[in-house]
Structure 1
Amino acid sequence: MQLTFLEPLVHRPGPWATVYVEPSQNDEAGAKRRELAVTEACRALEEQGADAATVEAVRDALSGIRPAEDPAGRVVFASQGEVVLSHRLSRPPQRQIVSWAPLPRLAPLVELCGQDPACLVAYIDRTGADFELRGAAGPQDAGQVEGRQWPVHRTASADWSERRFQLKVENTWEHNAGEIADALSSAYEESGADLVVLVGDPRERPAVHQKLPDPVRKVTVETEHGGRAAGSASPALEEAIAEACRRFTRDHVDEALDRFRAVRVGTGKPAEAVEGVPALVEAAREHRIETLLIRPDGAELGRETWVSDEPDQVAARRTDAQALGAAEPLSVRADDALLRAAAATAADVLFVPPTDEQDSSDDVPVGGLGALLRWTNEPVAA
């Protein structure tokens, strides 16, 4: 999961109001529950010490949320009388979360926004393709490509002239497959997608797949469901895309955990991964975190950590923060401090399933916080 969408929060000083809103039904009873939830959230912020202007900004933002637009709920971040960011959730929170703290309450995002990949869907036929990017912001148009429009239909005749025509048709298909593959590769690079799903014509789809460059082909899957024509969407297509995303996420998490465990058992380089707050804050200060691992039931997520207004000024002790130049260090949760640092340095963040979903002896990472590193501090051999 990339946290680049949190950029508006990274360098702005707090304190911060954070509210994770549960979804509700779009009916009269649901409207009353939403009104009550808004009142309770604002009261909780006031009790925690939030200023009146920020509480009012949050009230306005929460009152404007519509279930049809946010079926899984939404998170609102506000500071100094202004809502700085409002973001839809991928999964509903089990309860409403309300926080007034020096930093935005970021840790629930890892689970509630999910870590589904940005998925580029290519709807293909023999004349071209339409591209759609699916991510946290919902489906977005990602362009299209049109190849040769004639000839594209074969005939049933065995006449020699018809056979020549059919060869021209097949040449058109082959040419268009190359055009689609080139355009799809460009769309993949420009969109920042993690995964590509090919939908459509059963003959053209594998031809496009074969012509993709290796880096794109490795993250591309096909589905027999759906097509480019209007009205070809179906529940089967949506489930196929969702399953491709789930499989990609599982593989991505498993690969990261395998690298982490390799360090544990001594088959990987010791400096390639760290766990525990002291080691993590050092890596965050030096912008070395490539992938931050968070296990939600970890004991160290709420450990006291010290920060300043700058996201890379984070320390395990108050005196260390002062030594870094923070005149008035702020006491914050370790998970929120590390997530802010990860967002500032474009690090990846992965949600690790709680220990009750895996072998209890395989406590990865210890305390619930760990990281794979971009580079190490190991001395260079002479």
Structure 2
Amino acid sequence: MIQQQSNSITSTVSVICSRPGPFLSVYIDVSRDVDEAEHRIGVRWRSAREELHRAGAPASLLDLVGERVLDPSGAGGRVARMVVAADDEILLDEVTLRPRAQEALTWGPLPDVTGWLSDRSTTMPVLVVLADREGADFELYDAWPEPPVVTDSFHGDDLHVKKVAVGGWAHKQYQRRSEWTWRRNAEEVAAEIDRHVDDGVPLVVVAGDLRAQGEIRHAVSEKAREILVELETGGRAAGSSRDALDQAIDHAVGDVVVTDRLRTLNELEEQAGRGGAAAVGLREVLGKLTLGQVRTVLLSPDEASTQIVATRDYPGLPLPTEAQNSDELRADLAVVCAAAATDAEVAIVPRAKSGDGVSAVLRWDDQRSGSAVTGELE
């Protein structure tokens, strides 16, 4: 369900890992919602810079990254900044709201993006629709809860939008006109929702007037209805609580993320249980990555980051040049880069079935592969 965002992140990491390295990776708290925030960030960066310089990072690259770290992000609340640089060039500079992962400060043969990926795994694209009987406000988010990338409004026909208390022969006529106006406005809103769903938005959240929500649900396509969540809080009306709405959207996004993870874990369990298209454990997954056989890696960063990989044990593993002759690569970083290079998704999970934190759902199983080869030879 969150395939669109996964593809985007995979593409970003793939571009980074196509560079030879080494990489300077900084994932650091840049929140400015505390007293003397600018001073605190400056002190933290000076300490981080010294640490990275001792590790071998060149001064020119540290200066380049430092400019990004110290530059105000413009975001409120708790904020972290992920910056990856190599060859005197910034390869990634992204802000993450409400980060949970630990900071990362590394200079090495692989980009250290696992913490950033872990925080990004709890976000997703969302279309928020604040509806009433006259129309709706639209907010499109590439990665909730980051700021919306598009905001728009639709104001439909408000003639007779409110039923009037009239009597006599005109009463039924006014009632019918109001019903018709509500329905027409809802259809216009639904058409806009359908357009975004066709573009790949995986979650639509509708809040506001309950009657309008019902009309919109009835008018949208079946595809949109399957991913539409209606909320009882928030809306266009004056006095509506934005904090309550944001919390409700948080819950809706969390439900989708958890459901998506469970779906992938269940598929892994099913495939592994019948000896099908699954790989369990670091060694087996790395072997499958060298063949381009992995569709989705299930990675538990806490477990995988304690494992070490020697590239000589995996000839052909697609990694940056700087990492190809290393005997001490962090397993989580090697898996992320190799997965991105082979267009495999990376799903961050609390545990990945194996004790070393790495499992995978494959594109095909070995039995099918063997049968295809046998058929060709015959």
- Regarding TM over 0.5, the answer is yes
1:193-212 correspondence runs (5 A): 193-212=201-220
What is the Cα deviation at residue 222 of structure 1? 0.4
Q: State how many pairs are aligned.
A: 360
Asked if the contact 2:109–2:322 (Cα under 8 Å) also holds between the matched residues in 1, the reply is no
1:161 matched to 2:176? The reply is no
Q: Secondary structure at the match of 1:118?
A: strand
1:340 matched to 2:329? The reply is no
Asked if the contact 1:305–1:333 (Cα under 8 Å) also holds between the matched residues in 2, the reply is no
Shift of the 152–344 alpha-carbon distance from structure 1 to 2, 3 Å rule, reads: farther
Match of 2:198 in 1: 189
Amino acid in the other structure paired with 2:122: Q
The percent of aligned pairs where both chains have the same amino acid is 28
Q: Secondary structure at the match of 1:370?
A: strand
1:257 matched to 2:265? The reply is yes
Match of 2:135 in 1: 128
What is the Cα deviation at residue 19 of structure 1? 0.9
Match of 1:42 in 2: 49
Shift of the 232–322 alpha-carbon distance from structure 1 to 2, 3 Å rule, reads: closer
What is the Cα deviation at residue 178 of structure 1? 2.2
What is the Cα deviation at residue 91 of structure 1? 3.9
Q: 2:120 aligns with which of 95, 108, 113?
A: 113
What is the Cα deviation at residue 119 of structure 1? 1.5
Q: 1:321 aligns with which of 298, 308, 316?
A: 316
Q: Which runs of 5+ in 2 are unaligned?
A: none
What is the Cα deviation at residue 172 of structure 1? 2.0
Instruction: Compute the TM-score of the two structures, normalised by the length of structure 1.
Output: 0.82
Q: Which runs of 5+ in 1 are unaligned?
A: 307-315, 355-362
Counterparts of 2:77 and 2:14 in 1: how far apart (Å)?
A: 22
Shift of the 113–323 alpha-carbon distance from structure 1 to 2, 3 Å rule, reads: closer
Counterparts of 2:28 and 2:318 in 1: how far apart (Å)?
A: 39
Asked if the contact 1:67–1:73 (Cα under 8 Å) also holds between the matched residues in 2, the reply is no
1:289-328 correspondence runs (5 A): 289-299=294-304, 302-306=307-311, 317=313, 320-321=315-316
Q: Secondary structure at the match of 1:139?
A: coil
1:222-244 Cα shifts (integer Å, max 9, x gaps): 00111124653422211111111
Shift of the 115–276 alpha-carbon distance from structure 1 to 2, 3 Å rule, reads: same
Amino acid in the other structure paired with 1:98: L
Q: 1:73 aligns with which of 53, 73, 80?
A: 80
Counterparts of 2:111 and 2:16 in 1: how far apart (Å)?
A: 8
Instruction: Compute the TM-score of the two structures, normalised by the length of structure 2.
Output: 0.83
Amino acid in the other structure paired with 2:278: A
Q: 1:246 aligns with which of 230, 246, 254?
A: 254
Amino acid in the other structure paired with 2:337: R
